[in-house]
Amino acid sequence: MLQSKTVLSLTIDLLANNAFNHLKDSDISALHHLILKLQEPLTAPQQRLLLAFWNHAYTGDLPAALLHRCNTVLQQLGLSPLEEVIMEMELY
């Protein structure tokens, strides 16, 4: 497993950049509560739980550097990268 601090730190960065704002308030509250009670180093199940939240992140407004760091971590773990949400506009 990667350094747990990396996953925890990136999860906090995702929260700070509103990647989870589309989730229900109860889900966001649960994530905040989880982060507050976690202590380093994270156990493998704790790290997997945080990474599960990443699957629900909205990436459309994330800074490119943050998206890249998250995808690098996911790649190192053999997981699928976060998909960048690209909105297409049709011009008439």
According to the model, what pLDDT value does residue 39 have?
83
* Backbone torsions φ then ψ of 32, nearest 5 degrees: -60, -45
Query: What does the domain layout of the chain look like in residue ranges?
Result: 4-76
Q: Give burial (CB, 10 Å; 0-12/13-18/19+) of 54.
A: buried
Reported as a single tens digit per residue, the pLDDT across 3-46 is: 667 999 999 999 999 999 999 999 999 999 999 999 878 899 99
- In which region does residue 78 sit, left (phi positive, over 0), alpha (psi from -120 to 50) or beta (all else)? left
Which one-letter DSSP state was computed for residue 42? P
Alpha-carbon distance 18 to 10, whole Å? 12
